[in-house]
């Protein structure tokens, strides 16, 4: 495992060490001891989530508030997505900034998103299976979101607006500025 910093404070790219031979490949997708040694983050993941979506499906930008905030380690099992993290920690020097990365089943890359970030992704391939570990349990009363097309975030989702498919909930997310008083 190799760790790279991103343009957002505390948000990290994790490059997996992949062993390939004529049978296929093998890699260790997570090792708590190695993760802590390389990142300095002592984390206990308690919930795994997986979704499958078609081209153009955009899930996000989501986060949980208060004591139910979640850190996530995300990866793609099949297909390709554009994955986006937005720093919503008011005290952070990267507050209101976003980071995007293409993740795929062949990239060997994961993204660690700490607590205090909004997160979303859009499917760039015909379909994609997305997997993520969370360090806190889902709590419906604490879920929130930010509009994926918030003009101040300037996120290029790499998909034509006419092809984006949103849930009803995500169609009604406020901008970060509209949320600022509740963060």
User: pLDDT (tens digit, 9 = 90+) per residue, 155-179?
Assistant: 999 999 999 999 999 999 999 999 9
How many separate domains does the chain show?
Answer: 1
90, part of any domain: yes
| CB contact at 8 A, 133 and 30 | yes
Alpha-carbon distance of 135 to 153, in angstroms, equals 26
10, part of any domain: no
61, part of any domain: yes
| CB contact at 8 A, 131 and 105 | no
The H-or-E segment that residue 64 falls in is strand 58-64
81, part of any domain: yes
4, part of any domain: no
Q: What is the DSSP letter of 38?
A: H
Query: What is the CATH number for 144?
Result: 2.60.120.10
Alpha-carbon distance of 108 to 130, in angstroms, equals 13
Instruction: Give the pLDDT confidence of 19-38 residue by residue, as tens digits.
Output: 999 999 899 999 999 999 99
Range of the domain at 175: 45-182
CA atoms within 13 A on the CB side of 94: 16
28, part of any domain: no
92, part of any domain: yes
Residues assigned a catalytic role: 62, 132
| End-to-end CA separation in angstroms for the chain | 34
123, part of any domain: yes
CB neighbourhood size of 8 (10 A): 21
The pLDDT profile of the chain, 183 residues, written as one tens digit per residue, is: 899 999 999 999 999 999 999 999 899 999 999 999 999 999 999 999 999 999 999 999 999 999 999 999 999 999 999 999 999 999 999 999 999 999 999 999 999 999 999 999 999 999 999 999 999 999 999 999 999 999 999 999 999 999 999 999 999 999 999 998 777
User: Any residues with CB less than 8 A from the CB of 146 and at least 6 apart, and which?
Assistant: 61, 63, 86, 88, 118, 153, 173, 174, 175, 176, 179
């Amino acid at each position: 495992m190799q760790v790279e910093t991103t343009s957002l404070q505390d948000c990290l790219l994790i490059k997996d060490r992949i062993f390939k031979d004529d049978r296929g490949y093998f890699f260790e997708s997570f090792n708590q001891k190695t993760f802590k040694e390389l990142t300095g983050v002592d984390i206990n993941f308690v919930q795994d989530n997986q979704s499958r979506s078609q081209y153009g499906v955009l899930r996000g930008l989501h986060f949980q508030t208060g004591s139910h905030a979640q850190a996530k380690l995300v990866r793609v099992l099949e297909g390709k997505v554009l994955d986006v993290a937005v720093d919503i920690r008011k005290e952070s020097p990267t507050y209101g900034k976003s980071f995007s990365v293409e993740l795929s089943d062949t990239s060997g890359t994961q993204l660690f998103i700490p607590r205090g970030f909004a997160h979303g992704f859009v499917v760039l391939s015909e379909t994609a299976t997305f997997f993520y570990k969370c360090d806190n349990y889902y709590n419906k009363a604490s879920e929130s979101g930010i509009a994926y097309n918030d003009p101040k975030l300037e996120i290029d989702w790499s998909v034509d607006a006419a092809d984006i498919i949103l849930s009803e909930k995500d169609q009604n997310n406020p901008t970060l500025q509209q949320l600022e008083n509740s963060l």
